[in-house]
Chain A
Amino acid sequence: MDGRRFADMMMTVLSWAAALLLTGMVVAIIGFVVVRGYSVLSLDFLIEPPRDSMTRGGIMTPLVGTLQLVGVAMFFAIPVGVATGLYFAEYARDDMFTSILRLAIRSLAGVPSVVFGLFGLSLFVILLGFGPSLLAAALTLACLTLPLMVTASEQAFLAVPKDYRDASYALGASKWQTIRKVVLPAAAPTVITGIILSVGRVAGETAPIMFTGAAFFAPHIARSLFSEVMALPYHIYVLATAGTFIEETRPIQYGTVLVLLLLVLGICSGGIYMRSRLRRLMRR
């Protein structure tokens, strides 16, 4: 074999090896968590709050807290994110406002999550006086997920065939009527997949909520927007680093990691699968 064919074979072998290594690592990580966490997983684990200085009991409080955080964050992020996507796809002209908005969204996408935490701390917690709370943490998460939501919904709107719009305009519909009656319904399923992905991203974030509202421990679930909440990712961090019984609570830690992983990857794979199905439908 000469050098050229050898180099060609090397590329094939190396790239296969890289792919197998990546797959191996991911399978090992997930497998490890499943094997270690599986034993504590039960219905009781999900519906019981942590007890006895978090050395026993379940993860009901942080699980519900995460769902509350996601819910409130989405309440703010969805309208703004979808509106911005709609603006880019339907209204944006090639002007100053549009380029500044694009620049802002692109910049937001790169802001480190801990910096969002600082921002949330100074604006929502201190200046607006929400204190460390469900509301402050959720607003911080909403800001963090905005770029993802915008990009996903813009793509969803752009994927609506131009014929639909033309047909609507030809019937004498106005721009807003066309958007509301034709574009929004046609894009809605894809927009929803974008929302699902955002939910997955938000549910797994830790750094932005560490000083804006995540509680080390709370005896019960948050009953007001201004209470602190426990959250799954932060609960993992607390149990693994700051608890008094780090070694004793390992099984609980693995169990919590497993639940978080199932939650995030489950939601996101649902979103990705749905989107690929929709794309295939659209292409027909």
Chain B
Amino acid sequence: MEKILVSSRGVNLYYDSARVLKDITFDVMEKQVTALIGPSGCGKSSFLRCINRMNDFIPSARVEGEILVGGSNIYAGGVDVIALRRNVGMVFQKPNPFPMSIYDNVAYGPRLHGVKQKDRLDETVKQSLVGAALWDEVKDKLKTPGTGLSGGQQQRLCIARAIATEPEILLMDEPTSALDPMATARIEELVRELKKRYTVVIVTHNMQQAARISDRTAFFLMGDLVEYDATPKMFTSPEDKRTEDYITGRFG
């Protein structure tokens, strides 16, 4: 039984007067992987940052329309952005562990949200690292700096950090673009694993990656949502000519 978790209703995003997203309307299903694809500058990353309101930091950015998460509009007045971001985790393009220990990196979020007891923190850190498939590699060096890990390990640390606040949704902004093929394969494997517990929205410029790991795919082009459908259908028989052109590599 598919259930809608995130619902975008006529979302427009402006930077000053430039309209970067145009009337984006679609639904993200719970416990699925939804891939956002499209050529660079198409607005897919900007849309991702609308879902946890990270665009708030860009003074010139303005959002119109509604995004419903679990049924309530996150752009309504009086929404608690901090609680929203706790519920919507994010993993960035470049691995960005804090310059602190592996343990403190993962415990950062829970500590912010008031978890103080040592044994509860220990357990959360362990579960998150296990969930990010990093536990076995780092369990003996939790006190060493997170910045000392390899690129792929760093990214999995960032995933562990993101799931440590027990979010429902995980946003991933081209999480493998800075990694080598081996590390990429491990992250992809991990994403398939993660969807058992989380709803994942992933931005990728790599179409094979979208095809391999996602259940549904949304194709963005110059701020428009061109097509949105089940991934197998998108990659075998897209409705729109532009989708087909992009997928078959005729542009982008």
Enumerate chain A residues within 8 angstroms of B82, measured Cβ to Cβ: 4-5
Q: Mark A4-41, 1 if CB is under 8 A from B, else 0.
A: 11000000000000000000000000000000000000
Expressed in whole angstroms, the minimum distance between the Cβ of A276 and any Cβ of chain B is 21
How many contacts A-B (CB < 8 Å)?
A: 3
Expressed in whole angstroms, the minimum distance between the Cβ of B94 and any Cβ of chain A is 23
Expressed in whole angstroms, the minimum distance between the Cβ of B82 and any Cβ of chain A is 7
User: How far, in whole Å, are A4 and B83 apart by their CA atoms in the complex?
Assistant: 12
Q: How many residues of B contact A (CB 8 A)?
A: 2
Enumerate chain A residues within 8 angstroms of B112, measured Cβ to Cβ: 4
Enumerate chain B residues within 8 angstroms of A4, measured Cβ to Cβ: 82, 112
Residue of A nearest to B114 (CB): A4
User: How far, in whole Å, are A4 and B112 apart by their CA atoms in the complex?
Assistant: 9
Expressed in whole angstroms, the minimum distance between the Cβ of A208 and any Cβ of chain B is 42
Interface of A is mostly: helix
User: How far, in whole Å, are A5 and B80 apart by their CA atoms in the complex?
Assistant: 11
User: How far, in whole Å, are A4 and B82 apart by their CA atoms in the complex?
Assistant: 10
Enumerate chain B residues within 8 angstroms of A5, measured Cβ to Cβ: 82
Q: Mark B78-107, 1 if CB is under 8 A from A, else 0.
A: 000010000000000000000000000000
Q: Mark B45-82, 1 if CB is under 8 A from A, else 0.
A: 00000000000000000000000000000000000001
Expressed in whole angstroms, the minimum distance between the Cβ of A199 and any Cβ of chain B is 38
Residue of B nearest to A5 (CB): B82
Expressed in whole angstroms, the minimum distance between the Cβ of A6 and any Cβ of chain B is 13
User: How far, in whole Å, are A5 and B112 apart by their CA atoms in the complex?
Assistant: 12
Interface residues of A in 178-234 (CB under 8 A from B): none
Residue of A nearest to B80 (CB): A5
User: How far, in whole Å, are A114 and B101 apart by their CA atoms in the complex?
Assistant: 46
Expressed in whole angstroms, the minimum distance between the Cβ of A4 and any Cβ of chain B is 7
Q: Mark B99-134, 1 if CB is under 8 A from A, else 0.
A: 000000000000010000000000000000000000
User: How far, in whole Å, are A5 and B82 apart by their CA atoms in the complex?
Assistant: 9
User: How far, in whole Å, are A4 and B85 apart by their CA atoms in the complex?
Assistant: 15
Expressed in whole angstroms, the minimum distance between the Cβ of A82 and any Cβ of chain B is 38
Expressed in whole angstroms, the minimum distance between the Cβ of A8 and any Cβ of chain B is 9
Expressed in whole angstroms, the minimum distance between the Cβ of B217 and any Cβ of chain A is 38
Expressed in whole angstroms, the minimum distance between the Cβ of B237 and any Cβ of chain A is 48
Q: Mark A42-83, 1 if CB is under 8 A from B, else 0.
A: 000000000000000000000000000000000000000000
Expressed in whole angstroms, the minimum distance between the Cβ of B53 and any Cβ of chain A is 16
Expressed in whole angstroms, the minimum distance between the Cβ of B170 and any Cβ of chain A is 23
User: How far, in whole Å, are A5 and B114 apart by their CA atoms in the complex?
Assistant: 13
Residue of A nearest to B113 (CB): A4
User: How far, in whole Å, are A249 and B51 apart by their CA atoms in the complex?
Assistant: 69
Expressed in whole angstroms, the minimum distance between the Cβ of A249 and any Cβ of chain B is 52
Expressed in whole angstroms, the minimum distance between the Cβ of B250 and any Cβ of chain A is 35
Expressed in whole angstroms, the minimum distance between the Cβ of B81 and any Cβ of chain A is 10
Expressed in whole angstroms, the minimum distance between the Cβ of A191 and any Cβ of chain B is 36
Expressed in whole angstroms, the minimum distance between the Cβ of B80 and any Cβ of chain A is 9
Expressed in whole angstroms, the minimum distance between the Cβ of A49 and any Cβ of chain B is 56
User: How far, in whole Å, are A5 and B113 apart by their CA atoms in the complex?
Assistant: 12
Residue of B nearest to A3 (CB): B114
User: How far, in whole Å, are A208 and B82 apart by their CA atoms in the complex?
Assistant: 56
Residue of B nearest to A8 (CB): B82
Interface residues of A in 159-183 (CB under 8 A from B): none
User: How far, in whole Å, are A179 and B40 apart by their CA atoms in the complex?
Assistant: 41
User: How far, in whole Å, are A4 and B86 apart by their CA atoms in the complex?
Assistant: 14
Expressed in whole angstroms, the minimum distance between the Cβ of A90 and any Cβ of chain B is 34
User: How far, in whole Å, are A122 and B45 apart by their CA atoms in the complex?
Assistant: 67
Expressed in whole angstroms, the minimum distance between the Cβ of A41 and any Cβ of chain B is 42
User: How far, in whole Å, are A15 and B82 apart by their CA atoms in the complex?
Assistant: 22
| Subset of 3 A-B contacts with CB under 8 Å | A4-B82, A4-B112, A5-B82
Q: Which 3 A-B residue pairings sit nearest by Cβ, starting from the closest?
A: A4-B82, A5-B82, A4-B112
